[in-house]
Amino acid sequence: MPLLFRNSAQTDPWGRLWFSTLNGVVSIEPDRLAMPQHLPLLSIRSIVADGHEIDASAALPPDTHTLDVKYFGLDLTDPRRVVYRYRLVGPDASDSSWQDVGSRTEAAYSHLPSGSYKFQVMASNGNDVWTQPVSSATFRILPHFYQRPWVQGLFVLAGVLLAWTAISLRLRYVSAAIRMRAEERADERVRIARELHDTLLQGVQGLLLSFHVAAEKVPADHVSKKALERALTTADRIIVEGRNRVSRLRSEKLYDSELKTLIEGVASNLNGITAIDFAVKRMGGGEILQNHIVDEVFCIAREALTNAFRHSKASRIVVELDYQKREFRMSCRDNGRGFNAEAFCAHQSNGHWGLRGMEERAEGIGAKLSLTSAADKGTEVHITMPARLAYARHRRFRDFLKRKTAA
């Protein structure tokens, strides 16, 4: 009986497949075929560091260059549909996101920093349903010696010690420079005191003896007798003041509490036969000037008083010491005849350097000196300096640092 060949499958206009079998006709709709619901069987096959497979919880040396991880997902239905995604969880958070790598079954890393790591991978058979992450054992890459926390702590401590040493050396250098200048100044003061005592005071003392002898020969009823006696009394006070000044120069101690009395003593010595109304006023709070500031302020006030008593022909002279919180002020004011700028320049050119000396002393202590004067309106010498330079209380912290450094 001859074999009959005929088509056993046909496609209809709606895309369905029709098959004829011995038991009847069967149809299939390809678009409605259910996708397989099983997931691949996933495993991590190996982790290789620089060509050597590592064990679980391994500790890798700090100079590890490459790390290769191999994994595989088994799906017998359609192995070509299996796709993967993986991530490496470690110190760098930017590498902890999932990476879709398609069908690639190997991950490679190079030059990983020190720290603890865990590799995770997931697989899917192409239907966007993923397996649970499969994780490797945690492995560590050891840090270099200089990356260890206790070594870094030593570096920080060494840096702090180095900075402290540099600051200490700087403070010692500054302290030595200040001490050297103070010693030079002390030597200069002693030299000036010695010359004043050996020349000026001794010479004035000899002149006084001569004037005393001459005054004894003047008749008591003579008009010049009282004037000579008053001049001799004033000269005696000047000698005493000069000796006190020499003593202070040698001891290099002039205190704020003495400033008002010293200025009054200068005015008393300068007041002549026709006494001028004079006053020293202390105003402000209880701040205390530094010793070297007291010395310079006294010298400026003495020069200003000398000019006022000798040249101003004033009837009243007032010195004000104003201790403000933010600044210190000293002014010497008279109601005399005053002078002009041209006369001031002429005095300088003729060798009268008192005003210029006051300016230099003010600049030396960080003060600002101003002078106002007008004909028949008197003269005022005024100095101003900030509290941080003038008062002793603003130097306590620096003195404390100096004492600690010297110790």
Topology adopted by domain 41-144: Immunoglobulin-like (2.60.40)
Residue 283 has pLDDT above 60, yes or no: yes
CATH 3.30.70.260 fits 254-407, yes or no: no
Residue 104 has pLDDT above 80, yes or no: yes
Residue 217 dihedral angles phi and psi, to the nearest 5°: -85, -10
Task: Report the distance separating Cα 314 and Cα 335, nearest Å.
Answer: 5
Task: Report the distance separating Cα 193 and Cα 199, nearest Å.
Answer: 10
Residues 124 and 39: beta-carbon distance below 8 Å: yes
Q: Which helix (H) or strand (E) holds 239?
A: helix 223-251
The SS3 of residue 278 is: strand
Residues 333 and 271: beta-carbon distance below 8 Å: no
User: What percentage of the chain exceeds 90 in pLDDT?
Assistant: 20
How many H helices and E strands in the chain?
9, 18
Please give the average per-residue pLDDT across 21-27, as a whole number: 77
Residue 183 or residue 326, greater confidence: 326
- Count of CA atoms in the C-beta half-sphere (13 A) of 250: 10
Complete DSSP assignment for 21-51: ETTEEEEE-GGGPPPP----EEEEEEEEETT
- Do domains 41-144 and 254-407 share one topology? The answer is no
C-beta atoms surrounding 379 within 10 Å: 23
Residue 367 or residue 239, greater confidence: 367
Tens-place pLDDT, residues 292-309: 888 889 889 988 988 888
> What per-residue confidence (pLDDT) applies to 36?
54
The domain segmentation of the chain, as residue ranges, is 41-144, 148-253, 254-407
Task: Report the distance separating Cα 204 and Cα 202, nearest Å.
Answer: 6
Tens-place pLDDT, residues 83-92: 999 999 888 7
> What per-residue confidence (pLDDT) applies to 328?
95
The SS3 of residue 7 is: coil
Residue 212 tokens, joined: 């005393």
Task: Report the distance separating Cα 173 and Cα 4, nearest Å.
Answer: 119
- DSSP structure class, residue 37: -
Residue 194 or residue 346, greater confidence: 194
In one-letter notation, the amino acid at residue 105 is T
Tens-place pLDDT, residues 121-167: 999 987 788 999 999 888 888 887 777 788 888 889 999 999 999 99
CA 209 vs. chain centroid, Å, equals 63
Q: Is 342 exposed, middle or buried (0-12, 13-18, 19+ CB in 10 A)?
A: exposed
Please give the average per-residue pLDDT across 41-45, as a whole number: 90
In one-letter notation, the amino acid at residue 85 is R
Lowest average pLDDT, out of 263-277, 323-337, 369-383, goes to 263-277
